[in-house]
Structure 1
Amino acid sequence: MKNQTQIKHIHKEKECCSHDDNHESHQHNEDSHNHDDHDHDHDHGDNENTSLLLGRWPLWLSLTILAIFLFVTFGLKIEINKYTEIALMLSAYLLAGYKTIALAIRKITRGDLFNEFTLMTIATLGAFYIGQYSEGVAVMIFYEIGELIQDLAVSKSKRSIKALLDIRPDAVTVTRENKDLEVNPQEVLIGEIILVKAGEKVALDGILHSESGVFNTAALTGESKPAVKSKGEQILAGMINTEKTVEIETRALFKDSKLSRILEMVQEATARKAPTQLMVSRLAKIYTPIVFGLALLIILVPMIFVSNYDFQQWLYRGMVFLVIACPCALTISIPLGYFGGIGLASRNGILVKGSNFLDIVTEIDTLVSDKTGTLTKGVFKVQKVETLMDRDKFISLTASLENYSTHPVAKAFVQFAGANSLTKPTDVEEISGHGLKGKVSDYLVLCGNTKLMKKFDISFPEEIEKIVETIVVVAIDNKYAGYLTIADEIKEDSLQTIKDLKALGIETIMLSGDKQAITSQIASSLQIEKSYGDLLPEDKVRIVQELKDQGKNIAFVGDGVNDAPVIALANVGIAMGGLGSDAAIETADIVIQNDQPSKIVSAIKAGKITKSIVYQNITLAMGIKVVVMILGAGGIATLWEAVFADVGVALLAILNAFRIQGKSL
């Protein structure tokens, strides 16, 4: 098994290129995003929007100056002195665009000549040069309004993602010295008892101290059906108590709860860019210089071929071309699309740790799955009881002795028998690798495998040796009395998941540490054609690596600590997050929060929906821009039309990106 350093190294390789150092396209509004990293910022969404709007007061003042000027000159037909007009328009221009101009200057001094800030600054200053003052101001104002709308959209999208999960209460009731005190959840220690009233949210991870409780787990798992919990069962922060007041014994600090870790992962997810985003960032570095070059050609080439060449006329056309060529619709609508995809997945109980994984999951052609806890419940259940004596007496004697053991198989049978039928055994001896021996109500009882029977020379039917399931053979007073079989149950949606994956053209391969006979039986039940049993963790790594070497795009899904190396190795690592180990969850790229295999298909669908809308936005933005650029170069489109087209395309792309939020999986 690979050590944790190796796991992290492999995982980091999949995140390479996920952070783009050139992401400054909205830096002039970065001061308005100060709340993004705060906990509970979904409670302050309205305040944040208000802050964004009020913080742009110079823009609103600029818009007011322009509106009054246009009303006076065009509405009232009052002629304004040229120098007064220049002073008013220059004031409005600087109020609206001072941040954009400052960023353009800063980037030019760094050697970055081709960017949208420089593009907008040159275009608007060009308008001033040819005397189109009001148009130059309008271009800058509407560009800034477009940027503001985009900032509001990003803020809303980020809040909607975090609001899906950040449901931790600000106060919790804890019992101390026989008093119920209301304290901050961060002050509660491990082992303390907290009270959660009906309708309240659980603040910390723990175990149920009361006899029973009913909890809504939708925020964590996407599952609308309430979960009934018994004393001693795990309760997670984020669950909602739906009935009577219950007591919970805390097992983790507030900062260490599973919900807190999920929230950190969600915030990190928005920073990891998809290949499409990275591609657009790279193309922008090529696209922008080309746009500048074409604008320059539009201005200068006609000087050679047009007999009545007018420099100001062709300069105007070049400025129109630059304005419409601004790539802001792409630079914002694509991240918004991926934010929407992450939010859609989260609402369905799927945590995607980065938009890059939304892209990659759509390309997988092979799903490699662990068996226990992934396709099966990981909970042993009694399947069959065969006995030569009274059934109830056989069950009572066997369960009484098995109650001495902590083995999962023993626990399963004790649960099957029920506590009322148990008698305390005496002279109990645990025979390693064989089973148990002890006295129950004056009966000598032997429970274990066939090796135990052979050890005590007890004959039993030969067909028992051929049984595939886990079997417990029982002898009473040194005579064979019967046997019981115990098996792990297949999850209700596992078979449908395999069928849905096949419909998507994805092959499923099952790996397990269980013996091959059991693995093959489960695989046959699930219509899985390839399955491998008797595997050690390193064997799973070897098989996945071999598949990758064959050119397969692999998604691996598992839940245990031993699955972490394979999760890290796969193209997409998926962990079952409900009962999964911390190592698997931390290493995975996608976490299924309710342990349902069908959510794997939902994750793929979320990726496909997101990718489709992102590509729609790219096509829409580029299509409209090319048309208007041609019109601008031909002298048909004006600066006003160019700026409205640019802002309009951005708005359409944003609205299209928001469609993801309304999709169902």
Structure 2
Amino acid sequence: MCEYHHEEKSKWWQPLLSGLLLVAGMVIHYIGLSWFASPWVQLLWYIVAFLPVGLGVMHEAIEHALHGQVFSEFMLMSVACVGAFAIGEYPEAVAVMLLYCIGEALQDLAVDKARHNIASLTNYRPEYVRLQRWNGEKNVMQQVLVAPEEVNVGDVIEVLPGERVALDGELLLPVDQRDAVLNFDTAALTGESLPRQVRHAGEVLAGMIALERTATLRVTRPQSESALTRILKMVEEASERKASTELFIRRFASIYTPVVIVLALFTVVLPWLYAQFSPTYEYHFATWLHRALVFLVISCPCALVISVPLSYFAGIGSASRMGVLFKGGNSLDALTAVDTVVFDKTGTLTTGEFGVRQILQLQPQDLQTVVAMERSSTHPIAQAIVKSYGDGPKIDAENLAGLGLKAVVEGERWLAGTLRLLDKHGISYPEELQTIPETIVACAKNDRFIGCILLADMIKPDSEGAIEMLILLGISHVEMLSGDKQALVDKVADELQLEQAMGDLMPQDKAMRIETLQKQGRKVAFVGDGINDAPVLAISDVGVAMGARGADMAIETADVVLQTDQPSRLAHALRLARATRAIVWQNIALAIGVKLLVMALGLFGIATLWQAVFADSGVALLAVVNAMRLMKFKP
């Protein structure tokens, strides 16, 4: 490739410099300035124009040859350019490399807009922890900030509300609070939308976020073995194992290049052999060498190598206007082969936010009182209830940690919280409530059960339609994976009419499921949004991240990003990917067909070099126009 391949955009000076020198040289030659008439001056001028775009390609040719890939497209480019210089067609030699590098640069530009270095994933690990350390001089316990890797197993650390836990540990609570629980946001690790309640000596994993109050932890694993570090390692290992989809042009070049070089040799050798057996035939080595070199220059597939990247570039550009980011042509190409789509639940098919799904037995006036009580709490469940019913009066209620709320309203005793809260106060309730998968806020007045509020992660409006569209597009299998409870996952699956849904999964479980599907011969696209989804996104054939609210780690790891967070965009992306691939093959057929025709004419001396260049440029223009049809693609 060109030297600027995968480099900063500032490297565009290379094709720009070569292009300016090429055009300037042709203009000067046309004007007929005397100092430019010398062949040596022209040769030096065009060598200088050639080097910025040619050195990188020739270096790639040598590298591939050293690794056993002698007949690469880079070798053909190099041989063609050397041949052009040998027969004095200096502008053609520069133009060959310039067109090739522009086509590759356009592809790289599309990739650079979406892809970042996976090393940035480590930003999810906190830079420091609050370590409790004994100060012998002052005879007190002090808190110091240290790097996570400096903390040893058995050390005690503190995590403030809203902070991410840096190391795996067990929760420590004061002796008089051993019955209490602390809430942790575990969405980053398991995808669970409901905070996890952890009791004294319970396990807290790196990546969780402390809620409501400061958590004190005794470290159980060093940073190198923490849950978050293990996820990062899984992402890196999966990304290394996942080979990029090889574009047709490279496979084609492995056959096309040796055939062209052999034909060029035959162009010189066969007439000489014929002359040995035909005394009347006069063989001129210089004539046939010139014709062979012209044939090599004609064979250089400029139209092919520029039209294919441009087609992908047009498809990627059209997708971006639809709210879909493809991280390069390989990602777009890979999506066309997908026959299985696996969705994460929370934040992907659902909103990731709690909402009231149903009210059971609770009378309207009682519901108003319960909502007023919830307005005094900052718990996510309470906030979800308040959000569902808007502003209103507020009733001061006592927060019972891990259980719910208690209040006295106009002399009446009110309870709103978990079923354990009712159990603790000896209040009976229907047994079927124990089997309900949704989160329950049970309500009681004067020690009597009066009803309950059911909450759950809300399904996105277009999730059901997205699944229907994928099936209509020929996707043979759609399923859902989640870290939520199986009962809740089953209920969501029923609403979305999914035949396969698995719950209670950790990140490694999801990765194992994807590998199982791949071993069955399926091409799998996984759609997710959280840090916990990053390893699965990396190991799947096509990783698709929800971009609007998804974690940066998921977005970094994915091959495709749905910027609008609408699952239906995946179906639109699949349609566009298939349309793009069709146009790519149309351009390939056009470029190869015309090229073979002109090459045949060149062998018989019918096509001149500049006629070949004109034909090649014309094909490239037609291919560009064909590719631009993708810019008007409508889902």
Superposition TM-score, scaled by structure 2 size: 0.68
Residue correspondence of structure 1 range 532-547 to structure 2 within 5 A: 532-547=502-517
- Determine helix, strand or coil for the equivalent of 2:458: strand
- Determine helix, strand or coil for the equivalent of 1:509: strand
Q: Number of residue pairs matched?
A: 494
Is the 2:486–2:502 Cα contact (8 Å) retained in structure 1? yes
Residue correspondence of structure 1 range 347-366 to structure 2 within 5 A: 347-366=321-340
In the TM superposition, what is the alpha-carbon distance from 1:150 to its structure 2 partner?
5.9
- Determine helix, strand or coil for the equivalent of 2:386: helix
Which residue does 2:416 correspond to in 1? 447
Gap runs ≥5 in structure 1: 1-22, 39-47, 73-83, 127-135, 166-268
Give the aligned residue type for 1:118.
V
Distance in 1 of aligned mates of 2:501 and 2:243: 35
Distance in 1 of aligned mates of 2:598 and 2:18: 32
In the TM superposition, what is the alpha-carbon distance from 1:92 to its structure 2 partner?
4.2
CA deviations on 1:273-309 (whole Å, 9 max, x unpaired) are 96343x5335535533432221121122122335424
Give the aligned residue type for 2:564.
N
Gap runs ≥5 in structure 2: 116-238
CA deviations on 1:80-121 (whole Å, 9 max, x unpaired) are xxxx99955664455345544895897699988944233233
Is the 1:365–1:552 Cα contact (8 Å) retained in structure 2? yes
Residue correspondence of structure 1 range 263-412 to structure 2 within 5 A: 275-277=245-247, 280-281=249-250, 283-284=252-253, 287-305=256-274, 307=278, 308-311=281-284, 312-387=286-361, 389=363, 391-392=364-365, 394-412=366-384
CA deviations on 1:148-204 (whole Å, 9 max, x unpaired) are 566666667777888999xxxxxxxxxxxxxxxxxxxxxxxxxxxxxxxxxxxxxxx
Is the 1:143–1:643 Cα contact (8 Å) retained in structure 2? no
Which residue does 1:476 correspond to in 2? 445
Is the 2:96–2:300 Cα contact (8 Å) retained in structure 1? no
- Residue 154 to residue 331, structure 1, CA distance change in 2 (3 Å): closer
Which residue does 1:36 correspond to in 2? 9
Residue correspondence of structure 1 range 146-295 to structure 2 within 5 A: 148=98, 275-277=245-247, 280-281=249-250, 283-284=252-253, 287-295=256-264
Aligned partner (choices 425, 431, 442) of residue 456 of structure 1: 425
Distance in 1 of aligned mates of 2:43 and 2:508: 65
In the TM superposition, what is the alpha-carbon distance from 1:591 to its structure 2 partner?
2.0
Aligned partner (choices 548, 568, 575) of residue 578 of structure 1: 548
Distance in 2 of aligned mates of 1:581 and 1:34: 26
Which residue does 1:430 correspond to in 2? 400
Distance in 1 of aligned mates of 2:553 and 2:27: 57
Aligned partner (choices 7, 17, 23) of residue 60 of structure 1: 23
Which residue does 1:555 correspond to in 2? 525
Is the 1:555–1:572 Cα contact (8 Å) retained in structure 2? yes
Which residue does 2:77 correspond to in 1? 116
Distance in 2 of aligned mates of 1:356 and 1:539: 27
Which residue does 2:587 correspond to in 1? 617
Distance in 2 of aligned mates of 1:649 and 1:143: 19
Is the 1:164–1:346 Cα contact (8 Å) retained in structure 2? no
Distance in 2 of aligned mates of 1:316 and 1:660: 41
Distance in 1 of aligned mates of 2:51 and 2:262: 21
CA deviations on 1:12-53 (whole Å, 9 max, x unpaired) are xxxxxxxxxxx24xx5xx69x997149xxxxxxxxx89x966
Distance in 2 of aligned mates of 1:87 and 1:406: 84
In the TM superposition, what is the alpha-carbon distance from 1:424 to its structure 2 partner?
1.8
Which residue does 2:211 correspond to in 1? none
Distance in 2 of aligned mates of 1:92 and 1:562: 61
Please state if 1:531 is matched with 2:501: yes
Which residue does 1:627 correspond to in 2? 597
- Determine helix, strand or coil for the equivalent of 1:557: strand
- Residue 416 to residue 662, structure 1, CA distance change in 2 (3 Å): closer
In the TM superposition, what is the alpha-carbon distance from 1:420 to its structure 2 partner?
1.9
Please state if 1:141 is matched with 2:111: no
Distance in 1 of aligned mates of 2:324 and 2:290: 51
Aligned partner (choices 414, 422, 428) of residue 386 of structure 2: 414
- Determine helix, strand or coil for the equivalent of 1:485: strand
Distance in 2 of aligned mates of 1:317 and 1:491: 66
Is the 2:110–2:313 Cα contact (8 Å) retained in structure 1? no
Superposition TM-score, scaled by structure 1 size: 0.65
Residue correspondence of structure 1 range 582-661 to structure 2 within 5 A: 582-661=552-631
CA deviations on 1:338-397 (whole Å, 9 max, x unpaired) are 3333323222222223332222222122111111211011222223334465x13x1232
In the TM superposition, what is the alpha-carbon distance from 1:472 to its structure 2 partner?
1.9
Distance in 2 of aligned mates of 1:62 and 1:568: 49
Give the aligned residue type for 1:517.
A
Tell me how large the CA RMSD over aligned residues is.
3.8
Higher mean alpha-carbon deviation, 608-617 vs 93-102, is at 93-102
Distance in 2 of aligned mates of 1:647 and 1:590: 33
Q: Percent identity?
A: 40
Please state if 1:509 is matched with 2:479: yes
- Residue 441 to residue 583, structure 1, CA distance change in 2 (3 Å): farther
Give the aligned residue type for 1:122.
G
Is the 1:515–1:534 Cα contact (8 Å) retained in structure 2? yes
Distance in 2 of aligned mates of 1:551 and 1:273: 16
Is the 1:429–1:438 Cα contact (8 Å) retained in structure 2? no
Give the aligned residue type for 1:548.
Q
